[in-house]
């Protein structure tokens, strides 16, 4: 494990050196290049944290201790750095969210707001299609409008992986209330769940 930390620290140092060198050696202000280099530094720093968390866990630290050190809940720490085992197979579970899940959630919300019910339900998996019709979806959205007024804006989706699905939570601001759009996607990008939760219920 010490070797892993040494290697992660070496990569971080090399990424940092590359960022600093690029700022000195580039005559023109290449902001896009600088941002890209900075993202490499952040990724390398994340790898250092990941190795140290693994060391802490192997040394007996609880997820509560790890979460407190990171400034997040123990569940959030586990979701980011844990290695859950699938009880069905005994193999490590896939903890990587569906790529572009945030874009999918944003697109679904934009379709909801625009009343494009058929476009939303077209993305449902078979169980969702059987359980929620276009008319029911439209009625649910109308009920929210009736309770809290017109839609104003949405936030950036928060994306996590849970077992076989990716869950997105997106803040919705209405004229007189806040909601969370919780949309769950399967790996084939179909929608396995769609909930519009009032503030505090998420």
Each of the 202 residues of the chain gets a pLDDT tens digit; together they read: 578 888 888 888 888 888 887 766 666 677 777 788 888 888 888 888 888 998 999 899 999 999 999 999 998 888 888 888 888 888 888 778 899 999 999 999 999 999 999 999 999 999 999 999 999 999 999 999 999 999 999 999 999 888 889 999 999 999 999 999 999 999 999 999 999 999 876 5
Dihedral angle of Cα 57, 78, 103, 48, to the nearest 10 degrees: -20
The highest-level CATH class for domain 101-198 is alpha beta
- Euclidean distance between CA atoms 81 and 62, whole angstroms: 12
pTM reported for the whole predicted model: 0.66
Strand partners, 81: none
Do residues 81 and 50 make contact, with C-beta atoms less than 8 angstroms apart?
yes
Main-chain dihedrals φ then ψ at residue 197, nearest 5 degrees: -105, 130
């Amino acid at each position: 494990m010490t070797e892993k930390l040494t290697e992660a620290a070496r990569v971080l140092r090399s990424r940092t050196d590359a960022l600093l060198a690029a700022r000195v050696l580039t005559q023109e202000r290449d902001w896009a290049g600088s941002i890209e280099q900075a993202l490499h530094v952040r990724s390398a720093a994340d790898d250092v944290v990941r190795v140290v968390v693994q060391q802490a866990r192997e040394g007996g630290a609880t997820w509560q201790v790890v979460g407190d050190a990171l400034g997040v809940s123990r569940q959030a720490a586990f979701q980011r750095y844990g290695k859950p085992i699938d009880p069905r197979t005994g193999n490590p579970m896939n903890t990587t969210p569906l790529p572009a899940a945030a874009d999918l959630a944003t697109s679904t919300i934009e379709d909801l707001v625009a009343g494009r019910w058929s476009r939303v339900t077209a993305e449902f998996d078979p169980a969702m299609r059987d359980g929620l019709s276009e008319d029911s979806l439209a009625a649910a959205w109308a009920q929210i409008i009736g309770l809290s007024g017109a839609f104003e804006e949405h936030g950036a989706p928060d994306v996590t992986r849970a077992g076989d699905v990716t869950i997105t939570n997106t803040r919705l601001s209405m004229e007189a209330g806040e909601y969370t759009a919780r949309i769950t996607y399967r790996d084939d990008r179909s929608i396995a769940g769609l909930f519009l939760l009032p503030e505090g219920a998420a």
